[in-house]
């Protein structure tokens, strides 16, 4: 005797494909009832685009209104057609056939997932799962034929990279030759016209001081901002000392490493301190104090400017204002 509430599977004689049978026994109001589902798939091997026919048969002891839930796809398989036959009496059993036509476009081995079959048995819903079935799909491309049949879409064109890279290399060589002939130093080449020689730092500083001398009566903040900027720019250009982005205290430290006299160092310190007082403390130095600071900067530039011969060797403009 088969015990209640147990599942078993046995081969099905249904169809030529794979056949599997499932049976579920359950207890209802003192009587035993069962539903069996037989599954068949033809073929199990095919090529891309071939149609696969899945046939299901439900076998029940009483009319059960069995149904199968199928959408537009079953896993990777496309549902092409789905039909359900009416229930038929076969002796003491009631049978119903379902036919599902499928298509698969993936090459290789794919698995048809299990489907759920639902039946009504004695006021209860019985669910039976069909088995999973492996399916092998082969490509239609053979060594003897290059035709592609049954494929969706189209093949993309593959660029000929060796030819493209060779053409790019040729264009680069031609471009290099043109640049060399136009700007190179070789025979027949033309050099770009030389620009004006750089202006020596002391020349620029003296020219800026000449213009500032005409503005001695300007507000103290404006006057000392221009005067200290001239000094900072000269220190950077003539002594390579970073001064434009440094504080006054940091410039004092830099002055100790320069080859200048103590009097020059003290004079520059006085100029920078007076400038800070005028710019940040809003003090108004007298006209005499302005002239003294102005003269300190100009004397420092004249005393530390390089010799004329050194300027010519360096290629800098030496014309002084």
Taking each helix axis as running N to C, give the angle between helix 220-239 and helix 201-213, from 0 to 180 degrees, rounded to the nearest 10: 170
Instruction: Give the pLDDT of residue 193.
Output: 62
Residue 303 in tokens: 């005393």
Instruction: Give the pLDDT of residue 178.
Output: 83
Residue 143 contacts by C-beta under 8 Å, 6 or more apart in sequence? none
Instruction: Give the pLDDT of residue 263.
Output: 93
pLDDT at 37 over 70: yes
Q: For residues 84 and 114, is the Cβ–Cβ distance under 8 A?
A: no
Instruction: Give the pLDDT of residue 241.
Output: 87
Q: How far apart are CA 258 and CA 273, in angstroms?
A: 19
In the predicted model, what is the mean pLDDT of residues 98-122?
84
Residue 321: band (very low, low, confident or very high) from pLDDT cuts 50, 70, 90: low
pLDDT at 67 over 70: yes
How many other C-beta atoms can be found within 10 angstroms of the C-beta atom of residue 126? 20
In degrees rounded to 5, what are phi and psi of residue 53? -110, 115
Instruction: Give the pLDDT of residue 2.
Output: 33
pLDDT at 271 over 90: yes
Residue 264: band (very low, low, confident or very high) from pLDDT cuts 50, 70, 90: very high
Residue 317: band (very low, low, confident or very high) from pLDDT cuts 50, 70, 90: low
- pLDDT > 90 fraction of the chain, expressed in percent and rounded: 23
pLDDT at 298 over 90: yes
pTM of whole model > 0.75?
A: no
Write out pLDDT tens, residues 172-218.
Answer: 989 888 887 777 654 444 565 666 778 899 999 999 999 998 888 88
pLDDT at 25 over 80: no
What domains does the chain contain, in order, with CATH numbers?
Answer: 7-138 (2.60.40.10), 201-314 (1.20.120)
Comparing CA positions, the residue from 287, 259, 196, 273 lying closest to residue 231 is 273
Instruction: Give the pLDDT of residue 45.
Output: 87
Task: Round the average pLDDT of the chain to a whole number and report it.
Answer: 77
In the predicted model, what is the mean pLDDT of residues 23-31?
37
In the predicted model, what is the mean pLDDT of residues 62-90?
83
CB-neighbour burial class of residue 117 (10 A; exposed 0-12, middle 13-18, buried 19+): buried
Q: For residues 264 and 290, is the Cβ–Cβ distance under 8 A?
A: no
In degrees rounded to 5, what are phi and psi of residue 284? -115, 95
């Amino acid at each position: 005797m088969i015990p209640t509430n147990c599942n078993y599977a046995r081969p099905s004689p249904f169809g030529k494909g794979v056949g599997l049978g499932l049976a579920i026994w359950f207890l209802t109001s003192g009587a035993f009832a069962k539903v069996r589902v037989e599954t068949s798939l033809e073929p199990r091997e095919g090529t891309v685009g071939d149609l696969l026919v899945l046939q299901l048969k439900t076998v029940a002891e009483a009319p059960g209104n069995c149904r199968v839930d199928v959408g537009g796809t079953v896993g990777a398989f496309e549902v092409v057609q789905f039909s359900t036959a009416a229930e038929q009496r076969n002796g003491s059993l009631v049978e119903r056939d379902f036919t599902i036509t499928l298509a698969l476009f993936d090459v290789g081995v794919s698995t048809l997932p299990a489907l759920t079959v639902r039946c009504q048995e004695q006021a209860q819903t019985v669910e039976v799962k069909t088995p999973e079935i492996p399916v092998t799909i082969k490509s239609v491309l053979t060594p003897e034929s290059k035709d592609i049949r049954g494929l969706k879409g189209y093949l993309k064109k593959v660029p000929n990279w060796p030819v493209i890279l060779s053409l790019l290399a040729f264009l680069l060589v031609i471009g290099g030759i043109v640049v060399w002939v136009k700007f190179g130093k070789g025979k027949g080449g033309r050099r770009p016209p030389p620009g004006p020689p750089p202006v020596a730092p002391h020349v620029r500083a003296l020219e800026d001081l000449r213009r500032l001398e005409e503005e001695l009566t300007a507000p103290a903040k404006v006057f000392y901002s221009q005067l200290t900027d001239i000094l900072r720019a000269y220190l950077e250009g003539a002594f390579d000392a970073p001064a434009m982005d440094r504080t006054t205290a940091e410039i004092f430290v830099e002055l100790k490493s320069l080859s200048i006299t103590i009097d020059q160092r003290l004079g520059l310190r006085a100029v920078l301190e007076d400038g800070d007082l005028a710019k940040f403390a809003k003090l108004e130095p007298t006209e005499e104090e302005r002239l003294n600071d102005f003269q300190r900067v100009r004397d420092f530039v004249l005393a530390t400017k390089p010799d004329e011969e050194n300027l010519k060797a360096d290629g800098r403009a030496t014309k002084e204002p």
